[in-house]
Amino acid sequence: MNIKESIESVRKLFRTDSDPFPIDYQAVETLRIKYLGRKGLVAGLFSRMNDVSDKERPIAGKLLNEIKQEISSVFNSQTGSSKSREKSHGESDYSLPGLTFPVGHVHPLQQTMDDIKSIFMNIGFSVAYGPEIDDDFHNFGALNFPPEHPARDMQDTFFIDSETVLRTHTSNVQIHLMEEKDPPLRYIIPGRVYRNEAISFKSYCLFHQVEGLYVDKNVSFADQKGILEYFVKRMFGANTKMRFRPSYFPFTEPSAEVDIWSEKRSQWLEILGCGMVDPEVFKSVDIDTDIWHGFAFGMGIERICMLKYGIDDIRLLYQGDMRFLEQF
């Protein structure tokens, strides 16, 4: 279809769309954008001028200006007459329903984070935050990661220099808290963490964690078990099945992982890791292990969010797609 035929096609289409001319303001604006907007049909015709031969360009330009003026004049006359009618009828009818404007949505990750913080704050935990860029001692050394530990490998950690990293977990704030405050301590630590991992439907280079730390006299694994059972029931429902599995973490001993049963997938799904704070960690911050004991736990917010809302691709949480976000 040449430029002349395209112009005539747009003219016929506009006459169809504007007969009758809409009365509702929002419908008028939608029609205006369709034809006169920056990416509208008229602008699309002008963008084709580069393909028109030098001989035909003056004629095509004249036709384009005519159709633009024709459509603009229809809008000017119709909107002007509607204003005149409004004035002739006196004041506006304020009883008519107003225009509905879109409102923002709380991101599902933030919703999940808020829910987790609320659950733990209700049972006496305070919230603490710490640095996302930290030194080797707080991110690894004080947490009992020996120099040869795989987590120190460049494939897992973003190194700024040989002694400075983007934190790989919120556990680094454990060390800052125990250095700065005397026991007893009862904190959760939410925040962003970074891993040098390939991006896929189940992994991302940036994600969020909530770390928990409880240090006091006569603290036992049974105390931790009760608190985490309370969290799971509040977060996923009172009938949620859960289990503790023995595991290994350098900074806790004994250690465990917590799974919940997924009826949808008919399998156990891991949601967090936990354990009693290793005495070596206490020694690194000069806490007397004969007096004080404690436990720690950590969970990935993205994983909790995906399980709770049935999301099957972690990348959806970071793409900013309104079709996805408006569901929350």
DSSP character string of 159-183: EEETTEEE-SSTTHHHHHHHHHSPS
115 and 242 part of one domain: yes
**3-class secondary-structure state, position 190:** strand
196 and 299 part of one domain: yes
Is the residue at 97 inside a domain?
A: no
Is the residue at 103 inside a domain?
A: no
115 and 247 part of one domain: yes
The parts of the chain modelled with pLDDT lower than 70 are 79-92, 154-155
How big is the chain by its Cα radius of gyration, in Å?
A: 31
User: Rounded CA gap, 75 and 68, in Å?
Assistant: 11
pLDDT on residue 85 = 47
| Residue 125 near residue 188, CB atoms below 8 Å | yes
143 and 82 part of one domain: no
pLDDT on residue 167 = 93
Contacts of 23 (CB under 8 A, 6+ apart): 82
67 and 115 part of one domain: no
User: Rounded CA gap, 42 and 223, in Å?
Assistant: 70
**3-class secondary-structure state, position 267:** strand
pLDDT on residue 321 = 85
pLDDT on residue 243 = 95
Is the residue at 95 inside a domain?
A: no
65 and 195 part of one domain: no
Inter-CA distances, 137 with 160, 184, 277, Å: 14, 23, 17
pLDDT on residue 110 = 92
Q: How many domains does the chain have?
A: 2
19 and 125 part of one domain: no
Is the residue at 99 inside a domain?
A: no
Is the residue at 266 inside a domain?
A: yes
| Residue 18 near residue 74, CB atoms below 8 Å | yes
Structural domain range at position 69:
3-88
156 and 72 part of one domain: no
Contacts of 317 (CB under 8 A, 6+ apart): 107, 108, 109, 302, 305, 306, 311
- What's the residue count for the chain? 328
125 and 29 part of one domain: no
Question: Which token pair is 51?
Answer: 């393909």
Is the residue at 320 inside a domain?
A: yes
Give residue 194's identity as a one-letter amino acid code: Y
Helix, strand counts (H, E) of the chain? 11, 10
Inter-CA distances, 232 with 228, 235, 294, Å: 6, 5, 20
Q: Of 53, 88, 123, which one is at a domain's C-terminal end?
A: 88
Q: Which CATH number fits the domain that encloses residue 232? A: 3.30.930.10
pLDDT on residue 88 = 46
29 and 113 part of one domain: no
Q: How many CB atoms lie within 10 A of CB 194?
A: 19
174 and 38 part of one domain: no
Is the residue at 67 inside a domain?
A: yes
133-135 and 267-277 beta bridge pairing: unpaired
175 and 32 part of one domain: no
**What sign does the CA torsion over 144, 250, 191, 213 have?**
negative
Of the candidates 190, 192, 186, the one whose C-alpha atom is nearest the C-alpha of residue 204 is: 192
Instruction: Specify the pTM.
Output: 0.66
Is the residue at 44 inside a domain?
A: yes
**What sign does the CA torsion over 261, 266, 272, 276 have?**
positive
User: Rounded CA gap, 42 and 266, in Å?
Assistant: 56
Where are the strands (E) in the chain, listed by range? 126-127, 133-135, 159-161, 164-166, 185-194, 206-216, 242-249, 252-262, 267-277, 293-300
